[in-house]
Amino acid sequence: MNLLDTCTLLWWTLDPEKLSAKAGRACDRIEQDGAFISSITIWEIGIKLKKGVLQFNDSLEGYVHRLDRLGTIEVIPVDEKIWMENLNLDWGHRDPVDRTIVATAKLRGLSIITKDRIIREYYPHVIWM
């Protein structure tokens, strides 16, 4: 199973041509196999909307409701185990969202679909290229 990072989720749902061919094929299987996102991804999208860095024709609540209606994306809450794994990662990267996504994937044994080079260099189970 796969965990989508924030950009992958946004591109898969709003602008799929931005996905690499390999990531696109993995996302095409979401309808059959399902996939995961971290709850921190929803927070990150909300922050990007508030800052005006991201815009789309829906509210955050509407977007999350649409994801929920798909029935194929499971949101993994960030609990104390994920926070502890986040803190224990032997990784100098300081972005709390990326660290949380990696910690979540690591604890759940998931691959991450991400274009993020920094994640790809650290975490061995990434789908992109």
Give the percent of the chain with pLDDT over 90. 97
CATH 3.40.50.1010 fits 2-124, yes or no: yes
Q: CB 60: neighbour CB atoms within 10 A?
A: 17
Q: CB 25: neighbour CB atoms within 10 A?
A: 11
Element (H, E) at 74: strand 73-76
Q: What local confidence, expressed as pLDDT, does residue 81 receive?
A: 98
Q: Decide if pLDDT at 114 tops 90.
A: yes
Q: What local confidence, expressed as pLDDT, does residue 38 receive?
A: 98
Give the percent of the chain with pLDDT over 70. 100
Domain boundaries, the chain: 2-124
Mean per-residue pLDDT of the chain: 96
DSSP assignment of 3-69 equals EE-HHHHHHHHH-GGGS-HHHHHHHHTHHHH-EEEEHHHHHHHHHHHHHTS---SS-HHHHHHHHHH
Element (H, E) at 83: helix 80-88
Q: CB 91: neighbour CB atoms within 10 A?
A: 16
Q: Decide if pLDDT at 86 tops 90.
A: yes
Phi-psi region at 113: left, alpha or beta (left = phi > 0; alpha = psi -120 to 50)? beta
pTM for the complete prediction? 0.95
Contacts of 76 (CB under 8 A, 6+ apart): 3, 36, 37, 38, 39, 82, 104, 108
| pLDDT tens-digit readout, 26-81 | 999 999 999 999 999 999 999 999 999 999 888 999 999 999 999 999 999 999 99
| pLDDT tier at 129, thresholds 50, 70, 90 | confident
| pLDDT tens-digit readout, 36-49 | 999 999 999 999 99
